Amino acid sequence: MTATAPAAVLLPTVEPGSEEWLRRMSASKIAAVLGLSTYESRFSLWHRMAGLTEPEPDDDLKRRGHYLEPAIAAWFADQHPDWQVDTTGTWVHPERDWTAASPDRLITTETGEVRLLECKSAAEPSEWGEPGTDQIPAGYRAQVQWQMDVLGVRVCHVAVLTAYLSFAEYVVTYDPDDATFMRTRAAEFMASLPGGKAPRRPDIDGHSATYQAVRELHPDIDGGDYDVPAPLAERYCAARHALKAAETNEREARAELADAMGTAKRAVFDGDVIATRAAKQGGTPYLTAAKRLPDLTQPKAA
């Protein structure tokens, strides 16, 4: 069964790369606009929406989410037997049809209130806070705020399957200030696209998706030479030398830490796990840094 939203317009299926997709800002794009996405940058999104690069290809991460979504939704429904949990489609705001959202499920509570459900899987549980709270990764928070704003819904539940195969539930409530901020930034981004009111390509940044977009923009090699301006040549060479020095530094620090840990499994500093020792199939242990290392150059919050 497909539920209806309280204040939104249902669209036919919107395919990535289609004209409908190119002219709308969706929840999956807003995190990139805000600089919060690990998968897409403003630069790469701008070129995709301008039709200059291909839509994001399927990868293992997307396929994992597709396969796991029904199971995560089923778990959530089991936790709330008095609620109706339905599949849904792509919606646009009735007054801002350039804003779109495709929530994973619509929830109808026993009182008739409509809420949203997002189903996620988490390879890195440390990015998630205490279950039952709204402490979810910033990029996901932006997505669910955008969805609630488009559909006129005030509560979104986020169900997650962690790397340890444990389920958890989080609850995010609508924040009108966040929504206003995101709409402003999204409108500016849309206006910057070719054909918009203020077309301007975003600056190149250090996101991996930006480099991938640049590769797609220049697929050919003609055999010619490019005379590099001095500032860019200096910046590139300095960055490469700094990278080599940093890699040497990291290897030394990693060896020192592994030696100091002895047989310990985790290296902990001030309550934070900064590295873990592991071994594969009986091989010698190796050290893996935590994905979210504390910034020890900044004072720790009280």
Q: What is the DSSP string of 168-198?
A: EEEEEE--HHHHHHHHHHHHHHHHHSTTSSS
Q: Any idea which of 137-141, 215-219, 263-267, 295-299 has the lowest mean pLDDT?
A: 295-299
Task: Give ∠ CA 274-141-68 in degrees, rounded to 5.
Answer: 80
pLDDT of residue 59: 72
Residues 191 and 261 in one domain: no
Angle (CA) 89 95 100, round 5°: 30
Question: pLDDT grade, residue 1 (50/70/90)?
Answer: very low
167 and 269 together in one domain: no
Domain count of the fold of the chain: 2
Instruction: State how far the Cα of 123 lies from the Cα of 141, in Å rounded to an integer.
Output: 17
Q: What percent of the chain has pLDDT over 90?
A: 76
Is residue 246 domain-shared with residue 149, that is, in the same domain? Answer: no
Report whether 195 contacts 184 (CB < 8 A). Answer: no
Q: How far is CA 51 from CA 62, 213, 215, 218, in A?
A: 21, 12, 15, 14
209 and 234 share one domain? no
pTM (two decimals)? 0.85
Q: What value does the mean pLDDT take over residues 102-107?
A: 95
Is 197 in the same domain as 268? no
Instruction: Let me know if residue 40 belongs to a domain.
Output: yes
Q: In whole angstroms, give the CA distance from residue 261 to residue 90.
A: 51
Q: Which amino acid is at 241?
A: H
The predicted-structure confidence for 285-300, as pLDDT tens digits, reads as follows: 999 999 888 888 877 6
219 within some domain:
no
Together in a domain, 86 and 168: yes
Residue 22 pLDDT class (50, 70, 90 cuts): confident
Is 297 domain-assigned? no
Considering the domain boundaries, does residue 1 fall inside one? Answer: no
Q: Please check whether residues 242 and 267 belong to one and the same domain.
A: yes
What is the predicted pLDDT for the residue at 302?
55
Tell whether 57 and 196 lie within a shared domain.
yes
Per the domain annotation, does 3 fall within a domain?
Answer: no
- Whether 193 is in a domain gets the answer yes
Q: Which residues are 279's β-sheet partners?
A: none
| Residue 10 structure tokens | 């249902």
Which of 19-23, 91-95, 138-142, 236-240 has the least mean pLDDT?
19-23
**Alpha-carbon Rg of the chain, whole angstroms?**
23
Name the helix (H) or strand (E) containing 28. helix 27-33
Q: What would the two tokens of residue 196 be?
A: 């918009």
Least confidently predicted of 25-39, 53-67, 217-231, 255-269: 53-67
Query: Six-digit token pair at 33?
Result: 């606009």
Give a yes or no: residue 50 inside a domain. yes
Is residue 90 located within the same domain as residue 46? Answer: yes
pLDDT digits (tens, 9 = 90+) for 147-171: 999 999 999 999 999 877 899 999 9
For residue 294, being part of any structural domain is answered with: no
20 and 84 belong to one structural domain? yes
Mean pLDDT in the chain?
91
What is the arithmetic mean of pLDDT over 45-59? Answer: 86
267-284 average pLDDT score: 92
Domain-terminating residue out of 172, 188, 214 = 214
Instruction: Give the pair of three-digit tokens for residue 130.
Output: 């205490």
Identify the domain containing residue 263 by its residue range. 230-289
pLDDT attached to residue 17: 65
- Judged against a pLDDT cut of 90, whether residue 107 lies above it is answered with yes
4 pLDDT above the threshold of 80: no
| Average pLDDT of the segment spanning 190-207 | 96
| 57, 197: one domain | yes
Residue 54: is its pLDDT beyond 90? no
Last residue of a domain, one of 214, 240, 255: 214
Residue 210, Cα to own-chain centre: how many angstroms?
Answer: 15
Check which CATH number belongs to the domain holding 61 and give it.
3.90.320.10
Q: Using one digit for the tens of pLDDT, what is the confidence trace for 223-267?
A: 999 999 999 999 999 999 999 999 999 999 999 999 999 999 999
Do residues 200 and 234 share a domain? no
Could you write out the DSSP letters of every residue in 108-174?
Answer: E-TTS-EEEEEEEEES-GGGS-STTSS---HHHHHHHHHHHHHHT-SEEEEEEEETTS-EEEEEEE-
The answer to whether the CB of 146 falls within 8 A of the CB of 101 is yes
Predicted confidence (pLDDT) at residue 182 exceeds the cutoff of 70: yes
Query: Is the pLDDT assigned to residue 193 strictly greater than 50?
Result: yes
Among candidate residues 172, 189, 214, the one where a domain is terminated = 214
Answer whether residue 2 shows pLDDT above 50: no
In sequence order, the 6+-apart residues with CB closer than 8 A to the CB of 145 are: 172, 174, 175, 178, 179, 182
